[in-house]
Structure 1
């Protein structure tokens, strides 16, 4: 890893590791691949939309029968067959063998203007790989699907931010897993209740980072620490995650919701701006937390014991501002749905100007990090920033979003949100493999569309989200009853009526139009759950302020 800022272990068996540096000044990325494979093996590393080895962009390395080395910019078609790219846009810098490791160093641009090359961006990147025995004279036509392959998710284009140094009085504490015996299954979410240090006076967290056991780097996928609210003790727990739809809302575990720290594979430390910190300790501050570790074990390995976690850096010298976390997007409600069988369906949630006008201080707030969140159908997520009817640069965007890779991402530049600004969070969801309507809600099989923004100074606005108004939704149901003779029964409730609709293309388009043009209801909620005194119902006229010139 020497000389490279970032790294991710792709495959533990072959010790296949990808290291990289990002150069924004000339929009290129330099890579180093190391692997421990016998001389008669060949391999490829590349990128695809969501981890598929079909329709992927690869750089392939092999030795031919006369031991000549080859590095080739390649791509796969929809059947997984390798093709040589006519435009060779991966540039080999060095190739060598060292201590039994094959080492390749090369570079490529963010955007090569080649249709067969993956466009690198600052969202999630699915890094794909394959390994295979043999010394082929050519890799053309080889079916990658038949080779040993896999993928990892990273944020490849990390932000080039100037990070403040740590204060001299900083101290640390770790929240780690209790020597978990990792099951030999592909996906495990492990929960563990533990405690924070007891502090009599408020202090500030100024940084946190993942601490990952070296031998488990390839299977510890992501980690989150959730703060548990309330003054009562939380019962001990160490075991598999309780599915969201099966958790008792009154249980101790249900109290552990507020994100304190989040790490994902390939993530760098989160360092707060020098003027802000996350408060910890003091009177009535709960010292209970829930640690969640996601183990991704695609090769079903056994025998791993893990004590990975997150390290927090704390200073007793309070900074100028407390930082806060605010929820943007859609309410968790069954009023919003995604029809079945849709390749992409877009839902939008609004934080309207009336809410920010009332809740934000004169100089506004500064967003420095963002965590996008959906459940299983989310494919793309972004948040727009609108001021006086004009769309400003987006807050955050992930064009290859995965619900299994939800890290807090520091923005390249803080974004100032002023009173009267609007924020629109949109999610593209795919339900091609579902036969029934997907409802909004808390269960993992239901959907969410949320952006948890990290900002300072902390204000009393904690939730700024919307959904379609009840009147508009029932007008839609009545229309479907009259025009389509749908079995709409108002007293049966929302889910019954949505499920009664035949989701033909014309009805899907109609629902999309209704969501885009109908009045909305607003959640403009304070930290204690009470709403700011703005109307919770906005007519279609409200949408005029979101009209963005093109």
Structure 2
């Protein structure tokens, strides 16, 4: 079946100064809609021409929108809507436009794979009111999460790419217009945010910052900078209840992600105040205990606010004051002379909450043992947190995961973490089917997950290398790949890392097979990267690699917060198998619509 276009709500609006208010008033309702407050908002373009406001109504499975657009020119028309990854092609748009006679039209439409716009036969965007004043156009409308229309984008709780376009002139009609030739752009949001109560901050909250000390960023593509400093002197235990990024102005594209690690040493042990590359051989060995995550941020993330029952513990008797800030700088143009002072701001209180919170890493190890062949539309990599690790690392009462931050580098397209108990799949921990490496929020979960000893957590990333001619290996570089889920949970435990890679023996056997049976120039003396790069990635060889990853034994990282592995056998262990998969929920569509969609 041909790829169906995704709908774009093209709101095409022709503005002209003479006679516009008379026609527009026919669609205008009372002041009730005009004065409504919306919980969420975002600018759509860099100049703030378009602002989108919205509320989520889970009771009716619908979203209420308000769009405001400001045009200094008298004749302009525009559109806004949704597409899978922010393209104006194959998008879901709504049209509010004005014909030559001055009549206004609000219409649901879509674009094809070349960006040509068409009116939808099923009109699912419902206009509530419209108004124009001082060149500001305001449209209030709504739409269901799932309209059962193949031309419409289905709203979910992952990343939504909002697209817009702006055109000038007086169109005689909008059908057949090529929107790819007009000014257009995108922004990213989580449209269906969880319906959670706002958290009230304690009245004694104060803040401190941990920022890079005017780092001269190296003129190389990838740098992991380490900076060791001391926390404020806290004689008593406190809780971090919120943290957020402080990105230096104009460095939004330079700082890819940051983590703050606590150095778990004796309170009397001195840790050198190092500032330099994290991969440098001359870095002090005393930094090895700096492994317990206090905060983690990645590009696009907003502030992390903890639930009222939990906070990250800092300070108190026996608490080492030393922390290590790690910043991943992405400098693809290798610019020289960049000086950065980005970092994190922490909001703390001495009013302790019921639980200490922690952060745990799930997914794949940072290793070149895993790879993605070139020219793959989608290729899945999976990391396992196996039941043997949670058995030794979690308390008998389990932990509650309340937030999740999915993380990949540049090829990530979809990410999800499954939850398995005794072979039975439970509801997913998190999923983003329109993932963007440029928008990696820490997201509170609508339904916190209770993870018990013996449970398994499986994190999978679907990566696209269709525009790459060379193999992509796992690793720290921006052009290598990661597949990670940083989960926020309580009560805090010593288990810090629960990640896997393909077993070393299985990978060596694969390279040996490729040499013997497929006549590939692999070698026992070569590194995994060298062997992966030596293989000609025919469809057959890609299939063989998939089969390896789907069935081979694992090498596990089941690590405590000080970096040591838990006692146990962690090499060559079997992967988790789901015996009873989770039943997929049915779309709320009539039977004839479902048959049409699947045909």
Do the two structures share a fold, i.e. TM-score over 0.5? yes
Deviations 1:130-178 (A, max 9, x none): 1111121211111111111110111111000134422233334467899
Could you tell me which residue of structure 2 aligns to residue 520 of structure 1?
554
Matches within 5 A, 1:172-251: 172-173=207-208, 197-208=232-243, 226-227=259-260, 229-230=262-263, 232=271, 234=273, 248=280
* Match for residue 496 of structure 1 among 510, 530, 545: 530
Question: Hey, what's the Cα distance between the residues in 1 that align with 2:469 and 2:259?
Answer: 34
Displacement of 1:467: 0.9
Could you tell me which residue of structure 2 aligns to residue 286 of structure 1?
322
Question: Hey, what's the Cα distance between the residues in 2 that align with 1:88 and 1:228?
Answer: 52
Task: Point out where structure 1 has 5 or more consecutive residues left out of the alignment.
Answer: 181-186, 296-305
Could you tell me which residue of structure 2 aligns to residue 117 of structure 1?
152
Deviations 1:282-315 (A, max 9, x none): 44222665678999xxxxxxxxxx9998654321
Q: Does 1:139 align with 2:171?
A: no
Matches within 5 A, 1:50-449: 50-173=85-208, 197-208=232-243, 226-227=259-260, 229-230=262-263, 232=271, 234=273, 248=280, 258=293, 260=295, 262=297, 267=302, 269-282=303-316, 283-286=319-322, 289=325, 312-449=346-483
Change in Cα spacing, 1:75 to 1:250, as seen in structure 2 (3 Å) is farther
Bigger CA radius of gyration: 2
Deviations 1:437-475 (A, max 9, x none): 111111111111110000000111011011111111122
Question: Hey, what's the Cα distance between the residues in 1 that align with 2:262 and 2:114?
Answer: 51
* Match for residue 22 of structure 1 among 56, 60, 76: 56
Displacement of 1:16: 0.8
Could you tell me which residue of structure 2 aligns to residue 548 of structure 1?
580
SS of equivalent to 1:78: coil
Question: Hey, what's the Cα distance between the residues in 2 that align with 1:375 and 1:519?
Answer: 25
Change in Cα spacing, 1:410 to 1:13, as seen in structure 2 (3 Å) is same
Displacement of 1:539: 4.5
Displacement of 1:279: 2.1
TM-score normalised to the size of structure 2?
0.79
Displacement of 1:222: 8.9
Change in Cα spacing, 1:438 to 1:69, as seen in structure 2 (3 Å) is same
CA contact (8 A) 1:161 1:413 kept: no
Change in Cα spacing, 1:257 to 1:418, as seen in structure 2 (3 Å) is closer
CA contact (8 A) 1:190 1:294 kept: no
**Once superposed, what is the RMSD of the aligned Cα atoms?**
3.5
Displacement of 1:275: 2.1
Displacement of 1:72: 1.5
TM-score normalised to the size of structure 1?
0.86
Moved more, 374-383 or 191-200: 191-200
Change in Cα spacing, 1:479 to 1:236, as seen in structure 2 (3 Å) is closer
SS of equivalent to 1:481: helix
Displacement of 1:490: 0.9
Change in Cα spacing, 1:259 to 1:339, as seen in structure 2 (3 Å) is farther
Question: Hey, what's the Cα distance between the residues in 1 that align with 2:212 and 2:168?
Answer: 37
SS of equivalent to 2:44: strand
Task: Point out where structure 2 has 5 or more consecutive residues left out of the alignment.
Answer: 1-34, 216-220, 264-269, 332-339, 584-599
CA contact (8 A) 1:256 1:289 kept: no
SS of equivalent to 1:492: coil
Question: Hey, what's the Cα distance between the residues in 1 that align with 2:194 and 2:442?
Answer: 12
CA contact (8 A) 1:522 1:537 kept: yes
Displacement of 1:478: 1.9
Change in Cα spacing, 1:32 to 1:263, as seen in structure 2 (3 Å) is farther
CA contact (8 A) 1:176 1:308 kept: yes
Displacement of 1:263: 7.7
Change in Cα spacing, 1:517 to 1:26, as seen in structure 2 (3 Å) is same
Question: Hey, what's the Cα distance between the residues in 1 that align with 2:183 and 2:328?
Answer: 30
Change in Cα spacing, 1:179 to 1:50, as seen in structure 2 (3 Å) is farther
Question: Hey, what's the Cα distance between the residues in 2 that align with 1:105 and 1:17?
Answer: 12
Displacement of 1:510: 1.3
CA contact (8 A) 2:83 2:92 kept: yes
SS of equivalent to 1:145: helix
CA contact (8 A) 1:375 1:444 kept: yes
Change in Cα spacing, 1:189 to 1:159, as seen in structure 2 (3 Å) is farther
Moved more, 481-490 or 374-383: 481-490
Question: Hey, what's the Cα distance between the residues in 2 that align with 1:190 and 1:470?
Answer: 26
Displacement of 1:179: 12
Moved more, 197-206 or 52-61: 197-206
Displacement of 1:527: 0.8
